[in-house]
Amino acid sequence: MDTAQAYGNERGVGEGVRTCGVPREQLFVVSKVAAEHKTNESAAKSIDETLGKMGLDYLVMMIIHSPQPWVEVNQSENRYVEGNRVAWKALEDEYEAGKLKVIGGAVASTIFNR
């Protein structure tokens, strides 16, 4: 099941996951950190907010949605390299905490899998 902070569908997808009758471990649920989150603090907070909205303890996969904030996509040469590195660190921290099973993204050169 695919969701994203930018789609605004996390709450509904989470409800579907919780109520569909299929065991949680049989569902592949993915979400995406919104492109605007370029600090460790905002990315980590957004991941926790996603889990809260969805009512889930973990996601199978979480990725960085875009290397650029949406208002700049294909409008700027700035690829937010440093901001994406610190957002990536938030994904790593949440992965280490067991909240995410796989992390990746448009800016990732490596995908980590639990």
* 8 Å CB contact between 46 and 87: no
pLDDT number for residue 113: 54
Is pLDDT of 110 > 70?
A: no
Check: pTM over 0.75? Answer yes or no.
yes
Catalytically active residues are: 7
Please check whether residue 41 lies inside any domain of the structure. Answer: yes
CATH code at position 68? 3.20.20.100
17-64 pLDDT per residue, tens: 999 999 999 999 999 999 899 999 999 999 999 999 999 999 999 999
Q: How many domains does the chain have?
A: 1
- Which domain range does residue 96 map to? 10-113
Please check whether residue 2 lies inside any domain of the structure. Answer: no
76-102 pLDDT per residue, tens: 888 888 898 999 999 999 999 999 999
Please check whether residue 1 lies inside any domain of the structure. Answer: no
Please check whether residue 22 lies inside any domain of the structure. Answer: yes
Please check whether residue 5 lies inside any domain of the structure. Answer: no
* 8 Å CB contact between 90 and 83: no
